[in-house]
A and B are shown apart, each in its own frame.
Chain A
Amino acid sequence: MRRFLSALIVLGLIMFFISTLPLIPEFGKASLSKVSRAFIDKDVNGNGGNVQYGVSKDLENGAANVVTSIVVDYRSFDTLGEVTVLFTSALGVGIILSGYKRKKFGREPNFILRVSVGILLPLILLFGAYVFIHGHLTPGGGFPGGTIIAAGILLLYLSNEEFDLSKTVKFVEGISGSLYVIVGLLGLAVSGVFLINFLPTGVVGNLFSSGIVPIIYILIGFKVGAELSGIVAELHREG
């Protein structure tokens, strides 16, 4: 009976969603809003337009990845809040699960696990660093890069019972979070706007381009990696 009622409710909801479909543009036929157009053309201040890869230079934002330019430059204040949300949730996990001792099996983990961690871990860390250093040029950025690094740390936790990173994690997290705010305050001191891009933006598509965007994405990469490693370490403790 309960299942039948639930199925009915769900069917009604899906029918309602489908009935609202004529209100939104058909799939694949969306039109760019004025705001998206300005973000793509790097034309928010009215001095951009006609961006070309490898040619255009000294735009208001030099990131080749448009999503990165929105997340870390135009709406950087949002991202500061987002990183704070992640920090709060990591803090909450730490508070809720405090007082748990780590479960110890008292014997060495599997031979295959130990050896393959030695081979894979440098590659995983390198790939994570690549993803967040090239966040303004290729898909990816600080959040995926940090997650990849946290996955590498999880391997370390699984392969070594004595491994503990909680002190380093807190240190890295605090340092990179404060550096993010300090970069923003530098913008306030130089140009009078919090988190403004005050460095030269260079040519679109170069590694050293787009001013503070790569710097902030590297900081976010370290911060997210540290926070997720902290969550992994807390959830790893039990019993």
Chain B
Amino acid sequence: MRRGSPIVSTQEVNPPIVERPASPAGLREISLRARDRVIKMGLVDKSVHVGASLSVLDILVSIYFGRGLRRSGDRPTERDWLILSKGHAVPALYAVLAEKGLVAEEELYKIRAIDGLEGHPDYRQGGVDVSTGSLGQGLSIAAGIAYAMRLDGVEDRHRVYVVLGDGELDEGQVWEAAATVAHLGLRSVVAIVDVNGFQLDGPTEEIKTKGDIPGRWESLGWNVVEVDGHDYEMLLEALRQADVARKPTVIVAYTRRGRGVGFLEATGGQHLDPSRARSNE
């Protein structure tokens, strides 16, 4: 974790990543290791949002290892960006960054400790592009980055990925930003909505109506792609489409909260209760 002086150039903390993209089979292997890390993080700190991390995990793996985040120059606009707007799922991001070697394995299990990893994304951590944690803000930030890419003439070279939750769609600002991105035709923005059907207090539809999620985006002028958020072939194809789309793309990814942990998946649970976890081993 970097300390002290602010105004960090994100290049400093985000070294260029140049790798051959992994195949779907390779991605599944990576995701198994990453899931293991997320569950261990959930066991060392009970407040970690395991359910939401496991639903979004395959999405992050497909962006980081399937499509890859690329850099083409030194300017901050000459690279792909990833904003985890649903910041509570940061264990999934850390698990992926550990696979990249950007977070040391032993650091993972100090999550939420006073000398360890922050409980929500913090840009002073290498590999984390933008600090989030307060829901609803990522898409607006992505729009600003995308506009800077346009000014620098690189908007067709790079993408700004912003990962939202379905509960997060309650935030009005998401729709302010969705309209801004569509209005400006910021095609470098790729929003991915992790539709796991749950938010903190219960099933999303019980808390607040979400309406026709793909339809809401489509009506504003977005290119909408619906996928199974745990199917790598579908995720990679959607990311490929977003790379060549002439308008902003939203990938509506239907997922399971707690994917990979039986009792969490069944109940839409969020946190791991250690005794319960042991009995499920």
**Real binding pair:** no
